[in-house]
Structure 1
């Protein structure tokens, strides 16, 4: 029973926190955990990081940057259109 509580409490806290911030921010924050796990694996535990894996990791982050820039650009354009009406 304690394992159910240990699982449920973090999920409830995450759900409560996710309601307070925009979903786009939650989506970007979801990428931080695997990145931290990668950094710990490579720098703390000395896991090998072949060039192909590093390139794949970089491609994911470039795509996230493109997504974020596009999101911000559309948000600013929408707010300008709303003010001009």
Structure 2
């Protein structure tokens, strides 16, 4: 199934300018977010669906710098099953 046919697919994004490196995103989503050597988040580009998407939404809402966001997955990107 592609993202085009699954309108619920999202990817996790970071506004690197707004991010202050609090690291809360990595605490809330350790399976999706790693921190670099300076404490700033590194995220993959895989589409999120189901439970991972629900956890990501909570992390986005909890980001103290409002730097974490959910973007629509690019067309043609395959979702994980």
Q: Same fold (TM over 0.5)?
A: no
TM-score scaled by length of structure 2: 0.24
The structure that is strand-richer by fraction is 2
Of structures 1 and 2, the one with the larger relative CO (CA 8 A, separation 6+) is: 2
The structure that is helix-richer by fraction is 1
Larger radius of gyration: 1
TM-score scaled by length of structure 1: 0.23
